[in-house]
């Protein structure tokens, strides 16, 4: 039987805020994590994107912090600016019930203005680079942090933030609660988690498939010279709120301009844009003033816009993890969605291996493309051969 938030230990004052937002049933990761997190235990949580992780750590933070404690008392590290803003907004909404303030710190805006807000916040949400900068300039104190959250820890490591994360953790009290939230808990993430936590409780949300279950997945074979027209055709025939991923920042600007030249409402968002410009682009997309947001992978993590109907990989992802992060922007909170990937002839082999890894072989073959054989690689142990990708049978 599904437990309620009060049964999981969430205070009545907090559940009232959730009810006013029509959040009445905990997600799987919330049901798993909340009792241990509220009890003050360290937690390792493996869960896919869009599973409700923010409230899984946000509710315990709000419930456990003393509003009169030295500021900041809780620290949430996230990989991107967009995720920092969204987590800060979510925690501010539930934190008001107990008089708790939240602030976000990230690059691309005035560090002086952020330093002032950070000094007044009970809960600090920050990207590692900006927080490390603030700490080095002695614009923020981290020696009073009681709760540390590493959200999307795997992505932070992929983006090369390990040195900054390590420097930040050294500034924190050893007597603290630490919670890891990640799409994976093996490899480097496992080693970091072991170093930063004490007797953590481990929770994993298992899915039958390694990709976004609620979405349908399509692959379209297309020549490079016909990609734009294929995208225009798709956006015209299947209207909705579409997020289109490209590989480069310049490519995002060019593609958005080409779509606008063809009468479509589109806008670009990428890392070379200042934070105000990125927020303006996202706000127009959320408000429905533009139907199509063309973005680089900077938007693959942290972007949480309701009712995205299509995620279109105009340029294929680098690997299966990037595919999940991208397509995970649709089919959220129980809704359906569509993931579409354009595949040029020279990309067919690499994309077929990603499809095999994601157990999307049937969808890939339906496009008329062939599955490539598994790649054979040589390990350093006695010249053994092993398969880089092993096609898996689809589970239902």
Distance CA 12, CA 254 (A): 51
Distance CA 331, CA 60 (A): 27
pLDDT at 170 over 50: yes
Distance CA 73, CA 67 (A): 9
Distance CA 76, CA 150 (A): 6
| DSSP for residue 142 | -
pLDDT at 374 over 80: no
Query: pLDDT tens digit string along 177-195?
Result: 999 998 888 888 889 999 9
- The pLDDT, as a whole number, for residue 350 is 92
pTM: 0.71
Mean pLDDT of 303-319: 89
Residue whose tokens read 């009060």: 6
Mean pLDDT of 296-312: 79
DSSP 90-105: HHHHHHGGGT--EEEE
Where does the pLDDT of residue 334 fall: very low under 50, low under 70, confident under 90, or very high at 90 and above?
low
User: Structural domains in the chain?
Assistant: 6-204 (3.40.50.300), 215-377 (3.40.50.300)
Mean pLDDT of 16-45: 93
| Cis peptide upstream of residue 72 (ω within 30 degrees of 0) | yes
Burial bucket for residue 202 (CB in 10 Å: 0-12, 13-18, 19+): middle
Question: How far is the CA of 356 from the CAs of 51, 255, 359, in angstroms?
Answer: 24, 29, 5
Distance CA 248, CA 3 (A): 45
For the chain, state the CA radius of gyration: 22
Query: pLDDT tens digit string along 210-221?
Result: 566 678 999 999
Query: What stretches of 197-319 show up as alpha helix (H) in DSSP?
Result: 227-237, 249-261, 275-286
**Selection from 82, 152, 117 nearest residue 299 by Cα:** 82
Distance CA 161, CA 148 (A): 16
Query: pLDDT tens digit string along 201-256?
Result: 999 987 655 566 678 999 999 998 999 999 999 999 999 999 999 999 999 999 99
- The pLDDT, as a whole number, for residue 207 is 61
Burial bucket for residue 258 (CB in 10 Å: 0-12, 13-18, 19+): middle
Instruction: Count CB neighbours of 306 within 10 A.
Output: 9
Query: pLDDT tens digit string along 61-78?
Result: 999 999 999 999 999 999
**Selection from 84, 83, 92, 89 nearest residue 62 by Cα:** 92
Question: How far is the CA of 185 from the CAs of 14, 154, 157, 324, in angstroms?
Answer: 30, 8, 12, 16
Q: Phi/psi at 197 (nearest 5 deg)? A: -115, 165
Least confident stretch, 7-16, 275-284, 367-376: 367-376
- The pLDDT, as a whole number, for residue 158 is 80
Say how many Å lie between the first and final Cα of the chain, rounded.
Answer: 23
Q: Phi/psi at 215 (nearest 5 deg)? A: -95, 150
- Under 8 Å between Cβ of 77 and 131: yes
């Amino acid at each position: 039987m599904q437990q309620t938030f009060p049964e999981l230990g969430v205070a009545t004052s907090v559940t009232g805020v959730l009810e006013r937002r029509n959040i009445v049933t905990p997600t799987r990761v919330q049901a798993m994590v909340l009792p241990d997190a509220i009890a003050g235990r360290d937690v390792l949580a493996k869960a896919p994107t869009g599973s409700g992780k923010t409230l899984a750590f946000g509710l315990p933070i709000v419930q456990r912090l003393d509003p009169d404690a030295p500021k900041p008392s809780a620290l949430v590290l996230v990989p991107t600016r967009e995720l920092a803003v969204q987590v800060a907004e979510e925690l501010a909404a539930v934190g008001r019930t107990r008089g708790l303030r939240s602030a976000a710190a990230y690059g691309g805006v005035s560090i002086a203005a952020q330093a002032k807000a950070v000094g007044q916040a009970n809960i600090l949400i920050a990207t590692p680079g900006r927080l490390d900068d603030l700490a080095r300039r002695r614009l923020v104190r981290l020696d009073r942090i009681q709760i540390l959250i590493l959200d999307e820890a795997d992505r932070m490591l992929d983006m090369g933030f390990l040195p900054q994360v390590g420097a930040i953790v050294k500034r924190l009290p050893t007597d603290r609660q630490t919670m890891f939230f990640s799409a994976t808990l093996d490899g480097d993430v496992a080693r970091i988690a072991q170093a930063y936590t004490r007797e953590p409780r481990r929770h994993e949300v298992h899915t039958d498939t390694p990709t976004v279950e609620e979405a349908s997945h399509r692959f379209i074979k297309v020549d490079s010279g016909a990609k734009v027209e294929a995208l225009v055709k798709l956006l015209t025939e299947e209207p909705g709120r579409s997020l289109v991923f490209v590989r480069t920042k310049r490519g995002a600007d060019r593609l958005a301009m080409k779509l606008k030249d063809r009468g479509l409402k589109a806008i670009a968002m990428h890392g070379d844009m200042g934070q105000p410009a990125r927020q303006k682009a996202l706000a127009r997309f959320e408000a429905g003033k533009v139907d199509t947001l063309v973005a680089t992978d900077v938007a693959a993590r942290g972007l949480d816009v309701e009712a995205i109907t299509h995620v279109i990989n105009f340029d294929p992802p680098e690997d299966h993890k990037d595919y999940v992060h991208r397509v995970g922007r649709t089919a959220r909170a129980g809704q359906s969605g569509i993931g579409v990937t354009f595949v040029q002839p020279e990309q067919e082999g690499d994309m077929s291996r990603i499809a095999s890894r994601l157990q999307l072989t049937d969808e890939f073959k339906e496009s008329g493309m062939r599955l490539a054989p598994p790649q054979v690689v040589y390990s350093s142990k006695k010249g053994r051969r092993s398969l880089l990708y092993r096609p898996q049978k689809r589970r239902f």
